A = this chain, B = another copy of it.
């Protein structure tokens, strides 16, 4: 097994950044690449991936198709990804052929809730109490330890509330484990919080760190509905949240943009919920409201370029347009301001179809 490739020099204009995944995040990355003079090559196992429409090159292939991955890698100066469920084997295979950022290790940790929580807790950063669950008996034992209300979550492949369930008894914990297919899981203590926030930040290859102003995030049916800046997380508390994100990024030797989701308690206590090793839905407002968007910033980091200014010039509210909602304005004569349509065909329930960012002068 050969070693992982690393980037020896900043990318030249015209170089190609490969992106694993072709959803709206890949699409907005491809869009941001245009002005930076960088090309993009999207690799996705989805035939109609929205990012295919924007990228310079597109490969439709399975994530275990080594031949297709190899051909993809040959066209790229560096490879990144836009979703955290890229199979570890895919990332490791590619990282031996082409520099990759973030690293397969960051991906591996972030895509497994047990590794992720252990990693964050190991840095002395507060998380919900959690226990590894490998079988029904573990689920029962974990519930006994954690108390009255807990959440069973599969260790892997969860997103937008999929693969998680609130449980209120040992029996419910064991049942949820079985319902999820008896796959490795964790049981997490239920954190009582006042609101949710996130830090979206970038770390460059030179170790530079640049965080956006932390938004407040509101979810509906476990899906992000709205991100708002400025959030109630201000001054020392905002600085504390950013320090947490920075410590995580540094411990991962992270390169690129990451999202750190936090619970904010009524007393201001910050608890890390999740790490997303990629551009983040709660950072979409940075397109309109910041000197540099999270998408351009991620590309800069991945390209080995210096980070750009993340400062926020406007107040902003970003709302996701989910499923059928996207059709509600399609017949209207007034498409909303600040619209970002993702070019997805079918508005399936729960599917993120678009977002809208409304800005106003900084308060």
Contacts and interface: CB of A to CB of B under 8 A. Distances in A.
A130 B324 CA distance: 59
A346 interface: no
Interface in A304-325: 305-306, 308-309, 311, 313-314
Contacts of A309: 337
Interface stretch (A137-145, A185-193, A266-274, A327-335): A327-335
23 contacts: A10-B333, A12-B330, A13-B330, A13-B335, A14-B343, A31-B34, A34-B343, A35-B341, A36-B335, A37-B343, A53-B56, A54-B54, A291-B314, A291-B337, A300-B335, A305-B334, A305-B335, A306-B333, A311-B361, A313-B313, A313-B314, A313-B359, A313-B362
Contacts of A96: none
| Interface size class of chain A, counting residues whose CB lies under 8 Å from the partner chain | 35 or more
| A contact face: mostly helix, strand, loop, or mixed | loop
Contacts of A35: 31, 339-341
A253 interface: no
B291 A37 contact: no
Interface of A: 9-10, 12-14, 27, 31, 34-37, 53-54, 56, 288, 291-292, 300, 305-306, 308-309, 311, 313-314, 330, 333-335, 337-341, 343, 354, 359, 361-362
